[in-house]
Structures are given as structure tokens and as C-alpha cells.
Structure 1
Amino acid sequence: MTNNSIKFGNIYSAFVSEDVSSGSSNENPPQAPQTINPGYITLPTTYKLNGQNYNLWSHSISIFIGGKGKEDYLSINLVQPDDKSPTYKKWKAENNMVMSWLLNSMTPEIGEQFMFYKTALEIWEAARDTFSNQDNTSALFEIKGLLHDLCQGEPSYFITLNRYWQQLDVLDAITWSCPTDGKQYKRLVET
């Protein structure tokens, strides 16, 4: 084997046991290509935060991060260990991983705003404070108009209807009867 060119998609472990200059090979045959762990190359979500789609983005990225078992990094329940703690190195690596997932799920213009935060929780809370729209009037109006125009005979009627109902549930304003309700809801959302 004298071809020493590397093709995209082929990743070889270490160096191939071959002397390319003389054309002779060592006794060990070349290693088979290895695949990259899909968790590192999979995009977190197809919904990139663009400033207009916070609700869809936050739900989608929450599912992704929860699926990786790292949802605690978006919660105040996980406390950053002291930098001298034996668990600090692991916490830092996982926090950086979640931060990269969050930043990679944003458009470059939006991601730049959050690039220098220190924790995933800081990014998560700042994105919520910046882009979650407390007054969803225009989005509610648009969805209600689409529902009004939806015809029952259309092939994807039920799927479309269900999707818009779910979006209305997310956007619909909640009126709390007392401050304790709001605190309880916030606690449930953060867990």
C-alpha cells in the first residue's frame, strides 16, 4: 500500500504501519478506519436560535441536552465545585461541552453575544432573559389565523392542527392567582 493520501471521511488510528518512502510495509497491516463518536459531531438541534424562535429552540435544545443526561447544567440545582475539588475537572469539561452545544445551536450573530459567559447556566438564563417573549401577541395572532384557515380535508390536517395547538400551549400567557404559583412553576420548569 503506497497511497499516502488521506480522503475525507476516513480517519485512521495512530499512524499506518508503513514506510511510504521505500514502499515496504512493516509486519503489521494497516489499521481499519475508525468512526468518530456521533455525540461529538451531531448537531444539537435543527432549530438555531435566531432571535425570533426562542420557544422552539429552547424546547428542542432542552430535549437534546436532556437526552445526553446533562440537563443539570441548565439548572441552579448543579453547583459548580471548587477548583481544587477532585470533581472540578470533570464538571468543567462537561460544562464546556454543554456550552458548545448551546452556542452551536445559535446563529453566529446570536452566539457571539454569549461567547464569553463562564457557565452553560449563564448562557441558558441570558438567552431566556433576552429572547423569551413575555408578550407573544403577534405569534398568537399568527397561529390563530393559521388555525382559522386550516381545512379539515387536507391530508396533514391532524398533524398540523396538533402542532399549532402545542405551539399555542407554549405561547399562551399564564395568569397566576398568587406569587406562590409562579415560584412553584419556575421550580418545576428548572428541574
Structure 2
Amino acid sequence: MGDDSKVVVSASASTTKEERPSCDYSTSVTFDKLNGSNYASWYRGARITITSRRMTSWINGKKHAPSSDAAAYAEWKEDNCLVQSWLLNSMTKPVRALFEHGDTAFDIWEAARKTYTVTQNSSWLFQLRRQSILTCQNDESVKVFYEKLHAVWQKIDCMHPHEFKCVDDGAHRLK
């Protein structure tokens, strides 16, 4: 005789499987944990992953908590904790200690942004520009040399994010 017991897992009636994110709380949103000096690449990787999981509203401030007595509050709280865990699990222990007391995923996201954004750091920008000028090809192939330069240029671009209001703005930027 076989065991006929079955486990049935169902999503709430208001949410379909496609709308709900993966519930793996140990998942990190980036390959490299935020360590304080790699914010630009961490930010990009985390934003891409969270967007692919359809949870962008949790980090852009558009997902507000319903009233604590509302029926949707329990689901909101679970999803908030899920995104918080993704963010915190993608940070090194010393960095995580700075942000683990944030009440919402948005609080953690914004605190990290305010702590590590270097758009006002002219010395860092100077250092990157200097590095791009002083980088030499030496005995490297053109491909390797270009990859090094391109990595520096991307860091510089990350310091000056571009807000495009329409497609023409992006096309103009590429010229």
C-alpha cells in the first residue's frame, strides 16, 4: 500500500503565482555582497533582480502599508519581509549591521543609497577620470585594454545617472 497523503500549497485568492515572488528568504539579489566600496555595481544588480521578481514597488517607495487592521496587511508584511531579507542577505555582516533595523525594504534601500552614493564625491570622480587617462595598453590585447577602460567609464556613468523623459533623450545621450 502506498501513502496517499498529499500536500497542497495554494496562493491566496487575491494573488496569482505569477504575481508573487519566489519565497526563498535566503536568496541574495546580487553575486557580490555590498561591502561599502562596491555600491554602484551592487545597486544595479539588486535593482535588476528585484525588478525581475516583480517587486520594484518595494524599493521605489510606491508600495505603502495598508492599515494594520486591513485584510491585505498580513500579505503586505510578508512581502516586505521578503524583500528586506533579499537586501540584507546581499550585504556583508558589517554593512548589514548598519541597515538591519529598517522598518521597510524601502527604508533599507534608501539608507544604503544615502550612505554609499558618491555623486557628491568629487575626489572619487577625479580618481576615476585620472585612472581612465593613465590606463595603458602595455602588452595587453586591444580587447583587454578596452574592457579595463570600459569598466572605468561605467563607474563614472554610475555616478551621474541619467533621467530620460522620452526615447529621444536616450538617443541624444548615445550620440
1:167 matched to 2:167? The reply is no
Deviates more, 1:58-67 or 1:148-157: 148-157
Structure 2 residue matching 1:113: 3-state secondary structure: helix
Which AA in structure 1 matches 2:39? Y
Structure 1: 5+ residue runs without aligned partners? 1-26, 30-37, 175-180, 185-191
Partner of 1:80: 65
Q: 1:66 to 1:87 in 2, by over 3 A?
A: same
Which AA in structure 2 matches 1:58? Y
Structure 1 residue matching 2:143: 3-state secondary structure: coil
**Which residue among 127, 150, 159 is the counterpart of 2:136?**
150
Number of aligned pairs? 145
Q: Which has the higher strand share?
A: 1
**Which residue among 86, 101, 109 is the counterpart of 1:116?**
101
Structure 1 residue matching 2:126: 3-state secondary structure: helix
CA-based RMSD of the aligned residues comes to: 3.0
CA distance in 1, matches of 2:27, 2:146: 31
Q: Any conservation in 2 of the 1:143–1:164 contact (CA below 8 Å)?
A: yes
Structure 1 residue matching 2:99: 3-state secondary structure: coil
CA distance in 2, matches of 1:65, 1:135: 26
Q: Any conservation in 2 of the 1:140–1:172 contact (CA below 8 Å)?
A: no
CA distance in 2, matches of 1:72, 1:62: 11
CA distance in 2, matches of 1:138, 1:81: 43
Q: 1:143 to 1:118 in 2, by over 3 A?
A: same
Partner of 1:46: 31
**Post-superposition offset of 1:39:** 6.5
String of CA shifts for 1:94-124, please: whole Å, max 9, x gaps.
Answer: 1101000111111111111221221101111
**Post-superposition offset of 1:160:** 2.9
Partner of 1:131: 116
Higher relative contact order (CA 8 A, sep 6+): 2
CA distance in 2, matches of 1:79, 1:165: 36
Identity of aligned residues (%): 30
